[in-house]
Amino acid sequence: MPLPQTKSAWLMLAISSGACAAFNGVFAKLTTTTLTASWSSSIALAFGLAASNKFVEYTIRGLFFGMNLLFNAIMWGLFTRALTLASSTVRVSIINTSANFIVTAVLSFIIFSESLPGLWWLGAAMLVAGSVIIGMREETEKQSVVATTGEAPLLDRDGAANAEGFRDDDDDGRDDDRVELSSVKNTENDSSDEDGVLK
C-alpha cells in the first residue's frame, strides 16, 4: 500500500516543518528578548557567579541563535522533502502554515505567557482559508484540463494555459523554408540546381 504511506509521509513532514518554523521564531525572539537576560541571571547565580555576568548571558543568547539557525535548516529540509512527496504544493503550504500558527500560539503562551487576541486567530484563520480556496481552485483547474485533453496544459510566457498548444514565434505557417548558400557552386554540372539551394 504505497499510496497511503506516501500521503501520511508528506503530511507528517509538512506538519513537522511548520512546527520547526514556529520553534525557529521562538529561538529568534529568545536571542534578543529581555526574558533571556533574566534566565541567564538565574543560571549565573546557580553556578555561584554574579547575576550580571555577561559571559553567561552572551553564551545563552549565542546558543539560542544557533538553535534558530538549526531549526531553520531543518524546517527547509522537511518542507522540501514534503514538496517532493506530495501531489500538490499548495496542500503542503496549507498544512505547513496551519501547523506554524498553532504551534506558535502554544509556544507563545507557554514560554512568553502571551495570550493571543481573537483578532490574531481571525487573521490566521483567514490566511489558512485563503490557502485552502487557492488549493481547491488549482486542483479543479488541473482536473478539468486532464479530463478534456488527457494531458497537462502548456503554459505561455505569462504562465497562463495555452489551449492552442505550443507554437514557435518564428513559425509563419510556411513549410517550404529553405536555406540558401550563396557560396555554394555547382562545379560538376551534374545538377540543374545552379543557385546552390539547400532543400
Structure confidence by residue, pLDDT tens digits, 84-101: 988 888 888 888 988 898
Give the pLDDT confidence score for residue 190 in this predicted structure: 52
Q: Among candidates 31, 21, 35, which has minimal Cα distance to 102? A: 21
Other Cβ atoms less than 10 A from the Cβ of 31: the count is 17
For the record, the C-alpha cell of 137 comes out as: 481552485
Q: How far is CA 58 from the centre of its chain?
A: 33
pLDDT tens string for the chain (199 positions)? 444 466 678 889 999 999 999 999 999 999 998 889 999 999 999 988 888 888 999 999 999 999 999 999 999 999 999 999 888 888 888 889 888 988 988 898 888 888 778 888 888 788 778 777 776 766 666 666 556 665 555 555 554 455 455 455 555 555 544 555 555 555 555 555 555 555 4
- Please give, one letter per residue, the 3-state secondary structure of the chain: CHHHHHHHHHHHHHHHHHHHHHHHHHHHHHHHCHHHHHHHHHHHHHCCCCCCCHHHHHHHHHHHHHHHHHHHHHHHHHHHHHHHHCCCHHHHHHHHHHHHHHHHHHHHHHHCCCCCCHHHHHHHHHHHHHHHHHHHHHHHHHHHHHHHHCCCCEECCCCCEECCCCCCCCCCCCCCCCEECCCCCCCCCCCCCCCCEEC
Q: Among candidates 93, 130, 68, which has minimal Cα distance to 13? A: 93
Give the pLDDT confidence score for residue 142 in this predicted structure: 62
Give the pLDDT confidence score for residue 67 in this predicted structure: 96
Q: How far apart are CA 21 and CA 164, in angstroms?
A: 43
Give the pLDDT confidence score for residue 93 in this predicted structure: 87
Contacts of 26 (CB under 8 A, 6+ apart): 104, 107, 108, 111
Give the pLDDT confidence score for residue 115 in this predicted structure: 78
Give the pLDDT confidence score for residue 148 in this predicted structure: 66
